[in-house]
């Protein structure tokens, strides 16, 4: 006898305020290097042949929108990267990459970014 209902309610809408496109993963890492040197850890995501990092607006800052199934992302920086690699190196900076291709949301974001490359 179950006493708790468990429901899965995927996001209905993702709103991206800014897209920053780079020609290759090394340019992306180069632009993020200063943030990393300031002590902010950065983990790149890979899906659908794209490598990207996003800066979501935390749900507590937009509780009504999040309750409606909307996620707001302040910025996504991205570059094409056809093949997955565990890291990307640019000069003396190396950033780890995680394969998020199992995530349905990441798949949709990857496809969206891919459509913005050409």
Cβ–Cβ contacts within 10 Å for residue 90, how many?
Answer: 17
Query: Domain coordinates of the chain in residue numbers?
Result: 34-114
Q: What is the pLDDT of residues 80-96, one digit of tens each?
A: 999 999 999 999 999 99
pTM above 0.85, yes or no: yes
Q: For a pLDDT cut of 70, what percent of the chain falls above it?
A: 98
CB 13 within 8 A of CB 62: no
pLDDT of 50 reads 98
Angle made by CA atoms 110, 33, 86, in degrees to the nearest 5: 50
Distance CA 102, CA 113 (A): 17
Owner of token pair 């910025």? 75
Q: What SS3 state is found at 30?
A: helix
């Amino acid at each position: 006898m179950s006493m708790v209902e468990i429901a899965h309610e995927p996001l209905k809408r993702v709103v991206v305020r800014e897209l920053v496109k780079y020609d290759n993963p090394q340019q992306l890492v180069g632009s993020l290097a200063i943030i990393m040197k300031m002590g902010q850890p950065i983990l790149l995501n890979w899906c659908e042949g794209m490598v990207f990092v996003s800066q979501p607006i935390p749900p507590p800052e937009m509780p009504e929108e999040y309750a409606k199934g909307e996620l707001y992302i302040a910025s996504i920086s991205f570059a094409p990267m056809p093949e997955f690699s565990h890291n990307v190196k640019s000069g003396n900076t190396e950033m780890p990459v995680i394969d998020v291709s199992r995530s349905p949301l990441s798949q949709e974001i990857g496809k969206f970014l891919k459509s913005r490359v050409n």
